[in-house]
Amino acid sequence: MTRTVLFHELGGPEVMRLEEVEVGEPGPGEVRIRVDAIGLNRAEVLFRTGHYIEPVRSFPAGLGTEGAGVIEAVGEGVTGLRTGEPVSVVPAFSQNDYALYAERAIVPAAAVLRRPDGVGAVEGAAVWMPYLTAYGALLEVGGMRPGDTVVLNAASSSVGLAAIHVADRIGARAIALTRTAAKREALLKEGAAEVIVTESEDVVERVLEATDGRGAEFVFDAVAGPGVRDLARVVADEGSLVVYGALSGEPTPYPGVEQGTLTMRTYIVHETTRRPERLRRAEAFVSSGLRSGAFRPVVDRTFALDEIVEAHRYLESGAQIGKIVATVPH
């Protein structure tokens, strides 16, 4: 038996509770891991509250798609992974099928990456989703090049910070949007070329000024909703507005633009993690950045697994800069 976080109804953090569950043996194409750390993501909040891109199929339901641990058992047909190996699990599956909020978990082998040397469990649970999302959206799909500019909101989130680092590494510029001035210095320290405080500065004016009137080749939007109309005004002619989150909780219109043409599309990390060749390239890119020091997981705070309700309350507060991680003592 292993302690696992389950919820029996939709609702706030309080619906989660730790229960004893039989894990069993991995099936074909699966591995069982001893979970040492879990990366918390907004997707879990949305799934728990019934606002995710897919509904909960049945109760009780589990949570979690990102973490780090050690392989305990390997299922039939799995190659290239061995017991005792330290690994990370990346978001590449439905929370209706697998879940990582547990002391032990069975996951698809295709969602498992070897942890690079020197990357511990907490870092291994915090690094992949942010960088796979930023890399996949901006480079793999978007084709960002040196000299391009990306404007990003929710800039102090783990994905926002990863996008800043990715842009900086390839010679592009990141303009970070933040609601108040409280996070300005932290964002500049992380490598943002400009920080715009949205409650007191005109975003369109500042972006056009920073780009010599050209606008940004990319807008990386975690909020969506009606605000896309304003963000579309800062996109350069033939640029891209990529929506990867829905923090506003409101319907997202297609913006009408007068200054030129733009491509607007959504992006989810599964576009990278569920396609082996894309994941192979992404793993190589992120691992290279980790080795050089250009990339690093930014961990705001850790909680123990039995503090998962408190951890989710903190996640929903939006006060963090970077990633929240739950650790699993053994």
Q: What pLDDT does residue 22 have?
A: 95
Give start-end residues of each CATH 3.40.50.720 domain in the chain.
Answer: 129-270
CA 198 – CA 124 distance, rounded (Å): 33
Task: Please report, as a single letter, which amino acid is at residue 291.
Answer: R
Contact in structure between 93 and 108 (CB atoms under 8 Å): yes
Q: Per CATH, is 129-270 categorized as 3.40.1360.10? A: no
Q: 70 Cβ partners below 8 Å, 6+ apart?
A: 33, 34, 36, 84, 85, 86, 87
Tell me the backbone φ, ψ of residue 166, rounded to 5 degrees.
-65, -45
CATH topology of domain 2-127+297-327: Quinone Oxidoreductase; Chain A, domain 1 (3.90.180)
- CA 157 centroid distance within chain: 8
Q: Which of 281, 308, 298, 289 is nearest to 35 (CA)?
A: 308
Q: What pLDDT does residue 296 have?
A: 92
Give start-end residues of each CATH 3.90.180.10 domain in the chain.
Answer: 2-127+297-327
CA 33 – CA 67 distance, rounded (Å): 10
Q: What is the pTM of this model?
A: 0.94
Q: 87 Cβ partners below 8 Å, 6+ apart?
A: 33, 68, 69, 70, 71, 81, 112, 113, 114, 115, 124
Contact in structure between 88 and 128 (CB atoms under 8 Å): yes
| Residue 171 falls in which region: left (phi positive, over 0), alpha (psi -120 to 50) or beta | left
Contact in structure between 161 and 129 (CB atoms under 8 Å): no
Residue 58 tokens read as 């049945």
Asked whether the CA dihedral 243, 244, 246, 247 is positive or negative, the reply is negative
Q: Residue-wise pLDDT tens for the chain (330 aa)?
A: 999 999 999 999 999 999 999 999 999 999 999 999 999 999 999 999 999 989 999 999 999 999 999 999 999 999 999 999 999 999 999 999 999 999 999 999 999 999 988 899 999 999 999 999 999 999 999 999 999 999 999 999 999 999 999 999 999 999 999 988 889 999 999 999 999 999 999 999 999 999 999 999 999 999 888 888 889 999 998 999 999 988 877 878 877 655 567 888 999 999 999 999 999 999 999 999 999 999 999 999 999 999 999 999 999 998 888 999 999 998
Task: Please report how many Cα atoms fall inside a 13 Å half-sphere around the Cα of residue 240, on the Cβ side.
Answer: 19
CA 162 – CA 155 distance, rounded (Å): 9
Strand bridging mode 86-89 / 30-39? unpaired
Asked whether the CA dihedral 161, 166, 168, 169 is positive or negative, the reply is positive
